[in-house]
Structure 1
Amino acid sequence: MGIHAVSVMLEALNRDAQHATIAKFIQNELDAEREKVALLHQQGSQQAELLREQGAQQFELFRQQQDAAGGSMHSRRPETLKIDISKYRGVEENSLLRWFVELDDAIRARRIDDGDMQVAFAQSNLAGRAKPWALRLKLHDPYAFGSLEVFKSRLIQTFEPPRAEFRARAELLKLKQGKRDVHAYAQHIRHLTSCISSNLVDEHTLVSVFMQCIEDGPVKTHLFRLELDSLEQAISTAEQEDFSLRQARASSTSYRQPRRYDSGGPEPM
């Protein structure tokens, strides 16, 4: 309805009717606008709720993907074992070859694959004369140890006594127990065998040397009654027999005969 038509319709009414008509018209317009606003508010609330649900679903999906990625990375990450090794001091008492065995085991357990890291780990376990020797080389040439194998070879050239394996083999073949107990004797023969890395002495020869060089007595007699296939088996058997003998001696010396008193004499105070 146009403005002119409304004006003509209002002119036909008296003043009170005009006011009532205008008020009703305005009220109808306000109600219509309120309905539009309520509808928009309802639609906005529904849209916001939908967006919240979509956001929550996307966040949950992202979290699940992160958890799955983290779990797969954790499952792929290899476990490491931190093994401590002895320090190599560069003295003749330290077996360099045996230290190399400890070093290789620790590197494998720690899963150190990088060559520079392997050299750094090996150098961190030097002490005594060997540590300043390595530092001097690194000061003159930062790339003196290009790999772990180069590091080992330079250690051998510097600190390994000449013909060390020959001397260890010769000492092994002429070894005697002497004044050492069975355990100390076994540890010494283990040390000598660990110093031999090439042309290894076979197990039967080691068993023969161990049994022949142990001092005469019950332990040696017990060993010769058995068929032993390895040095460790012979050592374990000898130590068990030696322990049993020591226990028997300790029990016999701790037992005392009860004192006897003459019944005809005076009773002791």
Structure 2
Amino acid sequence: MNMLDDEDDQSFHATRDGYSHLSDVEWDAVERMGSTMGIHAVSVMLEALNRDAQHATIAKFIQNELDAEREKVALLHQQGSQQAELLREQGAQQFELLRQQQAAAGGSMHSRRPETLKIDISKYRGVEEDSLLRWFVELDDAIRARRIDDGDMQVAFAQSNLAGRAKTWALGLKLHDPYAFGSLEVFKSRLRQTFEPPRAEFRARTELLKLKQGKRDVHAYAQHIRHLTSCISSNPVDEHTLVSVFMQGLADGPVKTHLFRLELDSLEQAISIAEQEDFSLRQARASSTSYRQPRRYDSGGPEPMELCSVESEKVALQTTRSCRNATDVRIQDTTLTRLVPLVQCLATLGVVTVHP
């Protein structure tokens, strides 16, 4: 069979000269037709057709090939669009998965490294005006906000907020012994022993129990009580005693009277009510003193005369004149009374002569 095919192929190719009217493109199409339909069938078909029919048949075959290629291209384009959409969806899914993983990793990082808050505190100078206990409260709040857990870092942060005598004292100890402050508690203890006044809590308690408002306003008086209360840390004063001290120390007035009508449970409650009452009184006084009589404007015309005012002014003028005359008479009598002893003395000496 292969031999026959080879023979047919040779005979078919040998007849190319017999179809010289066909172009190279058409002859290539004929060869493709032979590979599809068979060489013998194509040869028989071409021999049975005239030249015009051959051209038409070959053109139709070429058109069918083009249509088939177009369908393949359209199918490939559709498949490519589907593949692109699938790849787009896969990319979106992978991006969302990556975003979720990053969010989870970020959340875990935030959980591992919590945010810190930088709080500035005042410098402790080691002078009497600075409250050491208050500075300790500021220091503890700043350390918690900054999340400083290491003991050495806590001591270093505390030393960085010293000034004046206190800073000189700390540097002197560090030069003598680099490990003088083993922990923050040791640092606080040694600082308290050096700069806290002797029997500071006893003195603060004594001053608190005998404290009076005096000439201070309610707010300044309350702030002083708060300061003394904060200085008593080892054995703090109970709330009822603080309320009693605050009320007894208030100056006599509406604020004190109002507080004694109430049952108060804490110092802050008493201070809040006292400041509100004091503010209300100040507002009432300010509104009463700020009242001004309406101004009278000159209309330019005649004004009615008040006869009662004229009569009262006349009586006042007459009274003033009579008082002035009486005063002049008294002055003359007093002058003559003082001159009588002098005249008598001169008459005794014979300087003057007194006629009866």
Instruction: Specify the structure having the higher radius of gyration (Cα).
Output: 2
In 1: Cα distance, 2:56 partner to 2:297 partner: 143
CA RMSD of aligned residues (A): 6.3
**Range with bigger deviation, 5-14 or 181-190:** 5-14
> How far has the Cα of 1:131 moved from its partner?
1.3
| Secondary structure in 2 matching 1:129 | helix
**More relative contact order in 1 or in 2 (CA 8 Å, sep 6+)?**
1
**Range with bigger deviation, 248-257 or 18-27:** 18-27
Q: Which residue number in structure 2 is paired with residue 80 of structure 1? A: 116
**2:221 aligns with one of 167, 173, 185:** 185
Closer, same or farther: CA 30–242 of 1 in aligned 2, 3 Å = closer
Closer, same or farther: CA 3–177 of 1 in aligned 2, 3 Å = same
Closer, same or farther: CA 75–23 of 1 in aligned 2, 3 Å = same
**Range with bigger deviation, 131-140 or 117-126:** 131-140
Deviations 1:168-222 (A, max 9, x none): 0000001111111111111111100000001110000000000001110111011
Q: Which residue number in structure 2 is paired with residue 167 of structure 1? A: 203
In 2: Cα distance, 1:248 partner to 1:20 partner: 116
Q: Which residue number in structure 1 is paired with residue 275 of structure 2? A: 239
In 1: Cα distance, 2:71 partner to 2:300 partner: 132
In 2: Cα distance, 1:255 partner to 1:10 partner: 127
Deviations 1:60-99 (A, max 9, x none): 9888756643431123322222222222111122221221
In 2: Cα distance, 1:96 partner to 1:49 partner: 72
Q: Which residue number in structure 2 is paired with residue 253 of structure 1? A: 289
Closer, same or farther: CA 234–50 of 1 in aligned 2, 3 Å = closer
| Secondary structure in 1 matching 2:86 | helix
Closer, same or farther: CA 20–251 of 1 in aligned 2, 3 Å = closer
Closer, same or farther: CA 39–151 of 1 in aligned 2, 3 Å = same
In 2: Cα distance, 1:261 partner to 1:14 partner: 130
Matched-pair identity in %: 96
Deviations 1:100-139 (A, max 9, x none): 1221122112111000111111111112211111112112
TM-score, structure 2 as length reference = 0.56
In 1: Cα distance, 2:56 partner to 2:296 partner: 141
In 1: Cα distance, 2:288 partner to 2:167 partner: 53
TM-score, structure 1 as length reference = 0.73
Closer, same or farther: CA 22–205 of 1 in aligned 2, 3 Å = closer
> How far has the Cα of 1:142 moved from its partner?
1.6
**Range with bigger deviation, 56-65 or 230-239:** 56-65
**Range with bigger deviation, 95-104 or 216-225:** 95-104
Count the aligned residue pairs: 269
**Range with bigger deviation, 66-75 or 120-129:** 66-75
In 1: Cα distance, 2:67 partner to 2:76 partner: 14
In 1: Cα distance, 2:119 partner to 2:100 partner: 36
Closer, same or farther: CA 10–154 of 1 in aligned 2, 3 Å = farther
> How far has the Cα of 1:9 moved from its partner?
35
**Range with bigger deviation, 139-148 or 78-87:** 78-87
**Range with bigger deviation, 10-19 or 97-106:** 10-19
Closer, same or farther: CA 265–17 of 1 in aligned 2, 3 Å = closer
Closer, same or farther: CA 141–16 of 1 in aligned 2, 3 Å = farther
In 2: Cα distance, 1:87 partner to 1:131 partner: 10
In 2: Cα distance, 1:198 partner to 1:224 partner: 30
Closer, same or farther: CA 97–26 of 1 in aligned 2, 3 Å = same
> How far has the Cα of 1:143 moved from its partner?
1.2
Closer, same or farther: CA 219–49 of 1 in aligned 2, 3 Å = closer
In 2: Cα distance, 1:251 partner to 1:17 partner: 120
In 2: Cα distance, 1:240 partner to 1:33 partner: 94
**Range with bigger deviation, 235-244 or 53-62:** 53-62
Closer, same or farther: CA 203–26 of 1 in aligned 2, 3 Å = closer
> For structure 1, which runs of at least 5 residues remain unmatched after alignment?
none
Closer, same or farther: CA 146–16 of 1 in aligned 2, 3 Å = farther
Closer, same or farther: CA 238–19 of 1 in aligned 2, 3 Å = closer
